[in-house]
Amino acid sequence: QSALTQPASVSGSPGQSITISCTGTSSDVGSYNFVSWYQQHPGKAPKLMIYEITKRPSGVSNRFSGSKSGNTASLTISGLQAEDEADYYCCSYLGSSTWVFGGGTKLTVL
């Protein structure tokens, strides 16, 4: 199973909005609602930011939102803040209790 495809990097200025895409296939992203997003700061463990495509765990800012269209899921961060600078990973269910992550996207806040 190949990793989901994410842009290597995205950037934005404070206050702006950015969107990170996550492209899979009809066998993963396109087939399931179990798409999640994780934020990872350097040297830290990943943190769940979005699950089931659009849901936010308690404590995660509503500036983070998720969506899906066909085989592509997206994470949007509005009102960019310096603390949002991190790596972001998408993850999709593959069926049969197996999972696949994306290649990761480095977000730079200019």
User: What are the residues binding other proteins (CB under 8 A)?
Assistant: 1, 3, 32-36, 38, 45-48, 51-52, 55, 57, 89, 91, 93, 96-104
Is residue 46 a contact partner of residue 102, using CB atoms and an 8 Å limit? Answer: no
At its nearest, how many Å lie between other proteins and the CB of residue 95?
Answer: 10
At its nearest, how many Å lie between other proteins and the CB of residue 16?
Answer: 25
Torsional sign, CA 21, 27, 30, 33:
negative
Is residue 90 a contact partner of residue 102, using CB atoms and an 8 Å limit? Answer: yes
At its nearest, how many Å lie between other proteins and the CB of residue 26?
Answer: 17
- CB atoms < 10 A from the CB of 67, how many? 14
Cβ proximity to other proteins, 32 vs 85, nearer residue: 32
